[in-house]
Structure 1
Amino acid sequence: MTPERDPRGDREIVGMARGGGLNLVSSAFSHVADLGLSLLLARELGRSIVGVYWQSYAVLALLSLVAVSGTGSALTRYVAVYRAERDPGGVRGTVRLGLAVTIFVALLMGACLYGAAGWLADQAFDDTRLASPLRAVAVTLPLFAFAHAALGATKGFKTMKPFALIHLVLEPSLRLSFAAVLLLRGAGLPGAMVALFVSHLGAALTSAVALRRLMGRSAAAPKYRPRQLLGFSFVSWMATLATSGLTWADTILIGIFLSSSDVGVYNVATRLVVLASFVMLPINASFAPRIATLYQQGRADTLRRTYAAATSWIVRLSLPAFIIISLYPRELLSFFGPGFAVGAAVTVILAAGKFVDAGTGPCALMLNMSGRPVINMTNNIVVLVLNVTLNIWLIPIYGIIGSAAAWAAALALVNLARVVQVRMIMGMLPFGAGMAKGLIAGGGALVAVVAARSFAPPELALATGAGVVVVSFVALNLILGLTAEDRLILGMLGRLGRPRAADSGN
């Protein structure tokens, strides 16, 4: 029997895909630029200095989340909620309050880091080369935090254009281009830090302009609800901080226990794994405000369908890259220069953990955007403690391989726990026919490439293997058949040349 059509659900699927499609192209560009930057840094600075760069960047990533204090997620949620309730005053008050808190905290933290940079470099990291990069991070921090919060607010308007064009295109473009010019002129690590500052200055300015245009002019007086916004922000902040602690704690701990060269190798391996999963960010960013809107409107069936569709797209778009990275890590790492191929085992372990993250879908967003950030916070704090404990135990024994194992285990555990919680609380699972077809196609592609490896000459192994994986994966997906959601998206793509109806999520 053919299932009953759900036109409003179809519009949500198409709307998510439209925003996700823009983000997908932009995210692909961002990750290519990030990979290009990693290659440039590795070749121009070497393993040791590139390790110093990534340690300072890890500090920026962690402190920016403390500075934002969860207001990015809160702005996305409450802007979407107040727009669904047709409350322009609530929207304006939420945006103003969220940005004010972010700017104040970021400036305060930046000043503290600037003053403590020398002590941290000498006493915490035992590497005085970190002092100047940490001061550069302190100056960049307010810009990073403001752009993050402002773009969080723009996503609440159910448009992905500012996020995609600024965060995923403009900022990485500026960073790569300025770094290339400065490094090729011999500026070294200071040049890389200048490029970091300039890129975030550009992102902050354009984010402010984009948000201003979306807000427009309104006669409605701003309605400030600090208890609601800051309460959600605090809990969301704890959850996000723990998540990013899971992402960056290993870099910090490797820098403390091992050498900057080890940090460099580990982070190059991490760049490859992040590249494989680049589709997660754009799809999740498009899905997040729709969770808040659909849940607020009580449209559980549409939310369930959209949740499964998002997970299916993440798995099917990332699986070929995971297969290639897992089978050819040494060949890929060799592009970064001599000495990086020792991270092959690290790459495979990290890829295994990240694939579990991809395969469980946007379960953390489901908890957070449906108004349950406390559960998400608890999950993340527990798994962060586990990750840090495992790192402290395993790094002195197994080095960067031990750190990779700790990270992969912690990431897999927290995502499996989230899937169970979403099922128990909301009655929804991220799995569907599309994901099953993708996994079957992935298994077939894996068999095909393993069989083909014995016939390819060593110098063509990577190119041949990648071609076999992609062709066999696409062919098997077509043989297994498209899902209803896939057909909707193909129909949307076929109509791109014609005027489209407005995407209504209300």
Structure 2
Amino acid sequence: MSEQSSSTLNSLRSVADGASLHYVGMLVINLAGFLLTLVLTRTLGATIYGIYAYGTMVLQSVLTVSNFGTDVSATRYLAANRSDPAYQNRILGLAYATTLGVSLVVAVFLFVMAPTINAYTLEEPLFEPAMRVFAVALPFQALTYVVSSTFRGLEMAVGKTVVAVLGPVAQLIAIVAAVAVGYSVLGVAAAYAVACLVAFSIAFWYALAQSDLRPEFNFSRREALDFYDYSAPLTLSKAGNFLFKRIDVFMVGIFLAAADVGIYNVAVLLATVLAMPLIGINQLFPPVASRLHSEGAIDELESVYATVTRWSITASIILALPVVIYRTEILALFGPEFVAGTTVVILFVAAQLFNAASGPANDLLTMTDHQYLVMVNHLVFGGLNVVLNYIFILEFGMIGAALATASILAALNILRVAQVWYLEGLFAYSVTLWKPLAATALAAVVMWLAGLYVDGLVLVIVGSTAGVAAYLMSLYQLGLDDRDRELAGEYLGLMG
């Protein structure tokens, strides 16, 4: 094996380590999220669940600006300066100080503006006090992102996964306990805030125990300016990211009822399962991309980019099948009123497939010093999404919201791939992609045939299992890439 091939395999191994561990974490996270949503929808109903979902959505939207882009900045600078731990400590201190200051300001603003938000959106009496309780959780969630970025920048996959799991698991335990003793949306919001505090406390302690880095606050003015020059456009980029990813839920709350918010949110959450593979890849791809780009290893970077994009497509497309084919049966688990979200599921699955097919193009742009372009992308497409949502929601209701946002996501991801190709000369696709597409066709037939014999939850379980098995066997028979085979052999011990 040549030196470059060996180096490429090592880079892919780092990404695969992060992805495989993250998938384990995502299984826990998604199971916790599924159980939490199931408990809340079954006990609170669509309207009260809609208030909870809307409150957490508002919280997630302001989180995009609450750390001023310090999570991504910390990842980049920690990864690119491994030989200078003193500098890494100062960067970490800068990230924590910035996040704490900005998140406190945003939390106070959210607390004060809760009545106004309620007046212009849901107009539900319980939403205002619930939103104020959610605001208390904001600084703890923002600081947890910085802890996560520490592990990410150091390419410590285990630590990143542990921190990712802490929040959802703590929320599940605390909120289920609150529901069990009879609390409604206010008690659930309080349990959410307590869970965020506990998750951050454990995550921070864990980071100190697993790493030699310690946040220091004696950073220079020049270091701060360089840091903010990178993080400031990322903040605007994240704001735009919210506009094209989650503004639809916000606008559904403005123009439609709280029950519609609940139904729409459940449908969106089902479709976002498809993002798991790419999210896993992106756990350690950014620091690897930053390192390779700074070293000038462009050929290796393109090879890694192409390989992980193929992984993203291969893993996401099989997740899409059961969600689309069994969408009615899955939505019915949350209650009969949630079946109204079937068309929303289809539209968002299509959008997520475009996202998966683009691979880590957005992170690649960010890690190759095109952060301002990423900011413009997100702001422009975010603005377009607001306009399309306004027009389509008034015309088609919540299906219009899904159509607008899905179209924007598809167009943006196509543009990202073109920009990476034009600006960096990196291209991710080859004719070998016919293999997962052929395997998908066979799996779809298997899943459809299962519906002739069973139905309901049994169909979802049996059909999905049979379809995934057919997909994996087909891929194996069609032949794996040499690097995939070697990595699979390392992880599964099945192939030499």
TM-score (norm 2): 0.94
CA contact (8 A) 1:433 1:483 kept: no
Out of 158, 166, 184, the position equivalent to 2:180 is: 184
- Amino acid in the other structure paired with 1:235: P
**Structure 2 residue aligned with 1:372:** 370
Q: How does 1:94-493 map to 2 (within 5 A)?
A: 94-167=91-164, 169-213=165-209, 214-216=211-213, 225-432=223-430, 435-450=433-448, 452=449, 455-459=452-456, 460-493=458-491
Which amino acid is the alignment partner of residue 25 of structure 1? V
Give the superposition deviation at 1:154: 2.5
How many angstroms apart in 2 are the aligned matches of 1:159 and 1:4? 24
Structure 1 position 385, deviation (Å): 0.9
Report % sequence identity.
Answer: 27
Contact persistence 1:166–1:207 (CA under 8 A): yes
Aligned residue in 2 for 1:26: 25
C-alpha separation between the residues in 2 aligned to 1:259 and 1:19?
40
* Alpha-carbon distance change, 485 to 240 in structure 1, aligned in 2, over 3 angstroms: farther
Which one-letter code corresponds to 1:140 in the other structure?
A
Aligned to 1:503: none
Which is further off, 125-134 or 360-369? 125-134
Superposed CA deviations along residues 239-262 of structure 1, whole A, max 9, x for unmatched, are 122112322211110000000000
1:176, CA displacement in angstroms? Answer: 0.7
One-letter amino acid of the structure 2 residue matched with residue 493 of structure 1: Y
Give the RMSD, CA atoms, in angstroms.
2.2
Q: 1:383 & 1:271 partners in 2: Cα distance?
A: 21
Q: Which moved more, 1:476-485 or 1:208-217?
A: 208-217
Query: 8 Å contact 1:77–1:292 — kept in the other structure?
Result: yes
Which consecutive unaligned segments of at least 5 residues does structure 1 have?
497-506
Q: Letter of the 1:414 partner, please give it.
A: L
Report the equivalent of 1:90.
87
TM-score by length of 1: 0.92
1:193: Cα distance to partner? 1.0
Q: CA 1:237–1:215 in 2, change beyond 3 Å: closer, same or farther?
A: farther
Q: Distance in 2 between matches of 1:259 and 1:275?
A: 25
Deviations 1:328-384 (A, max 9, x none): 211110000121111111111111111111111111000001111111111111111
Partners in 1 of 2:32 and 2:432 — Cα distance? Answer: 30
Equivalent residue, structure 1, for 2:79:
80
Cα pair 1:89 1:220 within 8 Å, conserved: no
> Structure 1 residues 348 and 40, CA, compared in 2 at 3 Å: closer, same or farther?
same
Partner of 2:36: 37
Match of 1:24, as an amino acid? Answer: Y
What is the SS of the residue equivalent to 2:480? coil
Post-superposition CA distance 1:92-132 (Å, at most 9, x none) = 22111121111001111111211221232134432232101
Structure 2 CA distance for aligned equivalents of residues 427 and 272 of structure 1: 35
Aligned residues: 491
Q: Which amino acid aligns with 1:78?
A: Y
Shift of 1:194: 2.1
Alpha carbons 1:102, 1:145 under 8 Å: kept: yes
Gap change, CA 1:478 and 1:4, over 3 Å in 2:
farther
Matched with 1:11 is: 10
Q: 1:155 to 1:464 in 2, by over 3 A?
A: closer
1:440-486 per-residue CA deviation (whole Å, 9 max, x = no partner) reads 21123224434x15632444543443233212211110111111221
Long gaps (5+) in structure 2: none
Question: Is the 1:288–1:365 contact (alpha carbons within 8 Å) kept by the matching residues of 2?
Answer: yes
Tell me the amino acid that sits aligned with residue 247 of structure 2: A
Distance in 2 separating the partners of 1:153 and 1:5: 28
Shift of 1:23: 0.9
**Counterpart residue number, 1:70:** 69
> Is the 8 Å Cα contact of residues 91 and 222 (structure 1) preserved in structure 2?
no
Distance 1:458 1:428, change over 3 A: same
Partners of 2:447 and 2:122 in 1: CA distance: 43
